[in-house]
Structure 1
Amino acid sequence: MCRFPLRVLVLEDHSFQRRLAVSMLRQLGCREVFEAADGAAALALLQEVGPVDIALCDLRMEGMDGLEFLQCAGDTRQVGSVILSSSLSADVRRSVRQIISLLGLEFLGDVGKPLCMEALQALLKKHLPAPATRCGPAPAPERIQEHELRRALQAGQLQPYYQPKFDLRTGQVRGVEVLARWVHPGRGLLSPAAFIPLLERCGLMDALLFGQMEQALDLQRQARSQGHALNLAFNLQAAQLTNDELAPRIKALLKRHGAAGAGLTFELTECGLLQATQTSIKNLVRLRMMGCYLAIDDFGTGFSSLQRLCALPFTEIKLDAEFVRALGHEPRCQAAIASTLALGRALEMSVVIEGIETEEQRQQLLRLGSTTGQGYLCARPMSGGQLLHWLGQQRICA
């Protein structure tokens, strides 16, 4: 039985550390383990043995350093994923992680130094496909065709799923984000990554939005009848804001459902707002005039403009989950979260922290002054029926 059917390259200039890493990887059952003392030697080795699944990579070394090696390996696609093993400061390693992502490489994690076998094993597991295919290559996903997607929209297969936003102090639900899932008759439940890019190319994002809104407003009414007031948060793209008919269509939909604009939030990513057009700004203003709330999503991942944040009528900041993942070991992330919370208070905007998965993270965020969050600690995305049942059980996260 193969435990880790992986080809791994260890790039480490310290001979003892390199031997230790190679020994651990072999004990963990990696299929092939290669080693090199600097980047140039590692590139020469890859030319000889072929691509590897993972590079366990130090950064600072004589000759070609780890960063230059990753640049070259990324360009030639000789490395699939990267595990960092470095004693450099946390802020430097965090910047390197961003570079790894920009190079198109998968970042599995940072084991630091000295190496720990348990931590290394956990990161190797992240690279593996589903258990049923661990000892063989994963089958390539079938390409989704436009006609198939249009048929799915008409058949109601693209369903809204709901993930709660919760009060970090009490665990009470403050609202839900409405997410798209494709309930495919043959492939099961598909995530947005499988179909949203095609929806964008085909100009079908409005069809998805209004289909979701129809179903979600019905659910909001059912929840209200059970004593639960739910704010519904929908994702909007910058391209959708350029449509003059967007706000009037939303207004008509609310009127037909007898719903208030104050029960809706629209979330927009900051990167899409760098070149807001006149029509985009008018749509945002009209949504606010209807009583709807506006959130700037994935805050901190793009090139934020404070001028834009002040000029556009936002009411909420959603801080990206990456800051929470690094909360326990990177002081700069703690400072970024605290600064964003202070910014929200100064601008009279609420701040929602995404990606909360552990009780420790919740307690840390409370100490920093955060009050609202979203993540698996409270609940995963669920169907409408599951959400009503979940609310009926009065489950809380505190």
Structure 2
Amino acid sequence: MSSVISELSVLVTDDSLTQRQYAKALCQDLGVNSLFDAANGMDALDVLAANAIDVVLIDLEMPIMDGVELIRSIAQKKIKTSVIILSAKDPILIASVGTMAEADGLHVVGTFQKPLLPDALECSLLRFIQDTRVTAEPKKSADIEVTALELSQALANNELTLAFQPKLTVQGLLLRGVEALARWRHPTKGLVSPALFIELAERHGMIDALTHYLLEEAFNYKRTWQQYGLRFHLAFNLSPLSLADSDMVDWLCKLTEQYGIAPAEITFEVTENALLGELASAIRTLARLRLKGFHIAIDDYGTGFANAQQLSRVPATELKIDRSLVHRASTRPQQRTILASTVDLAKNLNLTTVAEGVETEEDFKILCELGVDLVQGYYFSKPLFADDLLVWVKTGLSQMRRQHEKK
């Protein structure tokens, strides 16, 4: 993807020469060739008037014309560019400026507290490429809109929680584990899509706070289940940005000790597209997690661009095959062939195979034929809140087994 990033034109706006040089060096390390800089908002507008700029990095605290004034001017002049907002101030303040910029019609690809990290910059530039090159679907009038400020308040008010979807063995339908899935019920807007608020957290520098909050909740539930004698695995999704957090592994080890949980009973899921960013940084974190005893799953396999060579570099223990490869494979010969080759690839790499999005009996049958290890999907159970999961384990699971034994 660096070759794609190299085609971008980036303007760094900061009154500090040191900060400008630092940000430009980060861009150059990512392969950006067309670089401009400005010491204040007025100079930045001159650069924007004379050049086609894809992304502008904007520091909020500048003389002559500060970052807020620059953002407003870009919006008023309808300059076609995207922005990354930076400041040493409080993250909530930065997020609120991002909300203001989006309300003014600007495309905000990131809001971050200084210092800007290489992985955060890379993810923002890749997001710009994705957002501008993929044709957006028409927006439904019923779609819920939320701001970074609302998400920040939701974290402070404990509005977010978790649902858990069971992962079962193909042979015998035994409960092997559950995947923790984030849920947000907004007090006035109702349920907010995880795809929306997780991207919002990544874009506005809140993904670490969100991850820590949800992990502590997940571990608390697991400790409670252990006290009931239930010792199934817990899977949790990690953002690509979390893989760049050098303190994440040590924090997780302390958390397992605090809650009395064995790392071997925790699986961290990362999407295959996470391998397309800073691969060395991602593998460094994943390798340390494996050394500490945690399991690693490559999630949504089949939806991105990872290949066998990249998979072989990742210290993974599990491959999660996306619904797009699973659903209706029994009636689509080419899709079945791709699914079968994916299962064989995983076996050759000594990875446990998990089929996601299993929704019909026909889907399940073909997965049995192909020798998939674990299954997950609405055919067995929807994601359940913690109390409902306990009821399902006590009664729903045995009922489902009996139904399958009759078939």
Q: Which amino acid aligns with 2:395?
A: Q
CA deviation after TM superposition for structure 1 residue 262, in Å: 0.7
Q: Which residue pairs with 2:238 in the alignment? A: 236
Q: Which residue pairs with 2:306 in the alignment? A: 304
* SS, match of residue 209 in structure 1: helix
Q: Identity percentage over the alignment?
A: 37
Query: What is the rounded CA distance, in whole Å, between the counterparts of 1:349 and 1:203 in structure 2?
Result: 33
Note closer, same or farther for the CA distance 1:243–1:392 as it changes in structure 2 (3 Å cut).
same
Q: Which residue pairs with 2:224 in the alignment? A: 222
Unaligned runs of 5+ in 1: 1-100, 107-136
* SS, match of residue 395 in structure 1: helix
CA deviation after TM superposition for structure 1 residue 104, in Å: 4.4
Q: Which amino acid aligns with 1:242?
A: A
CA deviation after TM superposition for structure 1 residue 138, in Å: 7.0
Q: Is the contact between residue 171 and residue 378 of structure 1 (CA under 8 Å) also seen in structure 2?
A: no
Unaligned runs of 5+ in 2: 1-132, 402-407
Query: What is the rounded CA distance, in whole Å, between the counterparts of 1:142 and 1:336 in structure 2?
Result: 36
Query: What is the rounded CA distance, in whole Å, between the counterparts of 1:172 and 1:154 in structure 2?
Result: 38
Query: What is the rounded CA distance, in whole Å, between the counterparts of 1:148 and 1:275 in structure 2?
Result: 29
* SS, match of residue 296 in structure 1: strand
* SS, match of residue 370 in structure 1: coil
Q: Which amino acid aligns with 1:231?
A: H
Note closer, same or farther for the CA distance 1:322–1:141 as it changes in structure 2 (3 Å cut).
closer
Query: What is the rounded CA distance, in whole Å, between the counterparts of 1:171 and 1:150 in structure 2?
Result: 40
1:386 aligns with 2:367: no
Q: Is the contact between residue 243 and residue 279 of structure 1 (CA under 8 Å) also seen in structure 2?
A: no
Q: Which amino acid aligns with 2:252?
A: I
Query: What is the rounded CA distance, in whole Å, between the counterparts of 1:354 and 1:141 in structure 2?
Result: 25
Q: Which amino acid aligns with 1:253?
A: L
Query: What is the rounded CA distance, in whole Å, between the counterparts of 1:209 and 1:184 in structure 2?
Result: 18
CA deviation after TM superposition for structure 1 residue 228, in Å: 1.9
Of 261-270 and 329-338, more deviation after overlay is shown by 329-338
Q: Is the contact between residue 317 and residue 349 of structure 1 (CA under 8 Å) also seen in structure 2?
A: yes
Query: What is the rounded CA distance, in whole Å, between the counterparts of 1:291 and 1:172 in structure 2?
Result: 23
Q: Which residue pairs with 2:31 in the alignment? A: none
Match of 2:182 among 180, 183, 187: 180
Q: Which residue pairs with 1:65 in the alignment? A: none
CA deviation after TM superposition for structure 1 residue 277, in Å: 4.0
What is the TM-score of this pair, normalised by structure 2?
A: 0.62
Q: Is the contact between residue 275 and residue 306 of structure 2 (CA under 8 Å) also seen in structure 1?
A: no
Q: Which residue pairs with 2:375 in the alignment? A: 373
Q: Which residue pairs with 2:285 in the alignment? A: 283
Match of 1:292 among 291, 294, 309: 294
Query: What is the rounded CA distance, in whole Å, between the counterparts of 2:302 and 2:350 in structure 1?
Result: 18
Note closer, same or farther for the CA distance 1:194–1:274 as it changes in structure 2 (3 Å cut).
closer
Of 262-271 and 273-282, more deviation after overlay is shown by 273-282
Q: Which residue pairs with 1:254 in the alignment? A: 256
Query: What is the rounded CA distance, in whole Å, between the counterparts of 1:383 and 1:279 in structure 2?
Result: 34
Query: What is the rounded CA distance, in whole Å, between the counterparts of 1:390 and 1:255 in structure 2?
Result: 29
Q: Which residue pairs with 1:322 in the alignment? A: 324
Q: Is the contact between residue 233 and residue 267 of structure 1 (CA under 8 Å) also seen in structure 2?
A: yes
* SS, match of residue 397 in structure 2: coil
CA deviation after TM superposition for structure 1 residue 105, in Å: 5.3
Note closer, same or farther for the CA distance 1:217–1:252 as it changes in structure 2 (3 Å cut).
same
1:166 aligns with 2:168: yes
* SS, match of residue 345 in structure 1: helix
Of 185-194 and 370-379, more deviation after overlay is shown by 185-194
CA deviation after TM superposition for structure 1 residue 222, in Å: 2.0
Query: What is the rounded CA distance, in whole Å, between the counterparts of 1:392 and 1:215 in structure 2?
Result: 22
Q: Which residue pairs with 1:208 in the alignment? A: 210
Q: Which residue pairs with 2:265 in the alignment? A: 263
- C-alpha distance after superposition, 1:35-82 (max 9, x if no partner): xxxxxxxxxxxxxxxxxxxxxxxxxxxxxxxxxxxxxxxxxxxxxxxx
Q: Is the contact between residue 242 and residue 277 of structure 1 (CA under 8 Å) also seen in structure 2?
A: no
Q: Which amino acid aligns with 1:275?
A: G
Q: Which amino acid aligns with 2:148?
A: E
* SS, match of residue 227 in structure 1: coil
Q: Which amino acid aligns with 1:354?
A: E
1:190 aligns with 2:202: no
Q: 4+ residue runs of structure 1 moved beyond 6 angstroms?
A: none
Q: Which amino acid aligns with 1:276?
A: E
Query: What is the rounded CA distance, in whole Å, between the counterparts of 2:211 and 2:381 in structure 1?
Result: 23
Q: Which residue pairs with 1:357 in the alignment? A: 359
Of 213-222 and 371-380, more deviation after overlay is shown by 213-222
Query: What is the rounded CA distance, in whole Å, between the counterparts of 2:208 and 2:226 in structure 1?
Result: 26
Query: What is the rounded CA distance, in whole Å, between the counterparts of 1:150 and 1:165 in structure 2?
Result: 31
Query: What is the rounded CA distance, in whole Å, between the counterparts of 1:104 and 1:147 in structure 2?
Result: 24
Query: What is the rounded CA distance, in whole Å, between the counterparts of 2:211 and 2:232 in structure 1?
Result: 18
Query: What is the rounded CA distance, in whole Å, between the counterparts of 1:369 and 1:139 in structure 2?
Result: 43
Query: What is the rounded CA distance, in whole Å, between the counterparts of 2:319 and 2:349 in structure 1?
Result: 10
* SS, match of residue 195 in structure 1: helix
